[in-house]
Structure 1
Amino acid sequence: MQLADHPSRRHLAAALDELARTFRGMTAHPDEHNCECHWGSPDELRLLKTPDAELDPDLLRRTWQAADWSHQAAVLRRILPQFARTLVSGEADAVFGPADWARAFRNSGWRKWPADHSGPVWEFLHAWWVSSLTDPETAVPAHEVFVLCAEASHTVTPWLADWAGERGPLSDRRLAEAVAEWEYDLLGDDLPWQAWEYGTEMREELSAWLTDHAAPRLRASGAPAGLLNGIRLLGLTDEDRWTDPQWPGYRY
Structure 2
Amino acid sequence: MIDPHQQFHDALDALDTAFAPLAELSVSVGGCTYCYSAADLEALAGPVPRVSDELISCVAHEAFNHWDDFPGLYRRLTPRIVRLLTADELDHSLVASRLLTADWQNWPAPERTALERLWHAWWRSALHTHPGIGHVTDILGVLSTTEGTSVPWLAIWAETRTEASDLHLRDALDRWLIEDDLADLHLGFYDELHVTPELLPWLLSLDDGRIGAAQLIEVERIADSQRAP
In structure 2, stretches of 5+ residues that fail to align are: none
- Answer yes or no: is the 8 Å Cα contact 1:47–1:53 preserved in 2: no
Partner of 1:85: 83
Q: Which has the higher contact order (CA 8 A, sep 6+)?
A: 2
Partner of 1:98: 92
The CA distance in 2 between the partners of 1:187 and 1:240, in whole Å, is: 18
Output the amino acid matched with 2:137.
Answer: H
Match of 1:21 among 14, 17, 31: 17
- Answer yes or no: is the 8 Å Cα contact 1:186–1:207 preserved in 2: no
5 Å matches for 1:1-252? Answer: 7-27=3-23, 30-38=27-35, 40-66=36-62, 67-68=64-65, 69-92=67-90, 97-136=91-130, 138-184=132-178, 186=180, 189-191=183-185, 193-194=187-188, 196=190, 198-200=192-194, 202-213=195-206, 216=207, 219-221=208-210, 223-237=211-225
Output the amino acid matched with 1:24.
Answer: A
RMSD: 2.6
Q: Secondary structure at the match of 1:33?
A: coil
Deviation at 1:15, TM superposition (A): 0.5
Q: Secondary structure at the match of 2:184?
A: coil
Deviation at 1:137, TM superposition (A): 5.4
Output the amino acid matched with 1:179.
Answer: L
- Answer yes or no: is the 8 Å Cα contact 1:15–1:120 preserved in 2: yes
- Answer yes or no: is the 8 Å Cα contact 2:176–2:182 preserved in 1: no
The CA distance in 2 between the partners of 1:63 and 1:237, in whole Å, is: 42
Q: 1:132 to 1:220 in 2, by over 3 A?
A: same
Output the amino acid matched with 2:80.
Answer: Q
TM-score, structure 2 length as denominator? 0.86
- Answer yes or no: is the 8 Å Cα contact 1:187–1:234 preserved in 2: no
The CA distance in 2 between the partners of 1:196 and 1:29, in whole Å, is: 33
Q: Secondary structure at the match of 1:128?
A: helix
Deviation at 1:199, TM superposition (A): 3.1
In structure 1, stretches of 5+ residues that fail to align are: 242-252
The CA distance in 2 between the partners of 1:238 and 1:115, in whole Å, is: 40
- Answer yes or no: is the 8 Å Cα contact 1:110–1:118 preserved in 2: yes
Percent of pairs identical after alignment?
Answer: 22
TM-score, structure 1 length as denominator? 0.79
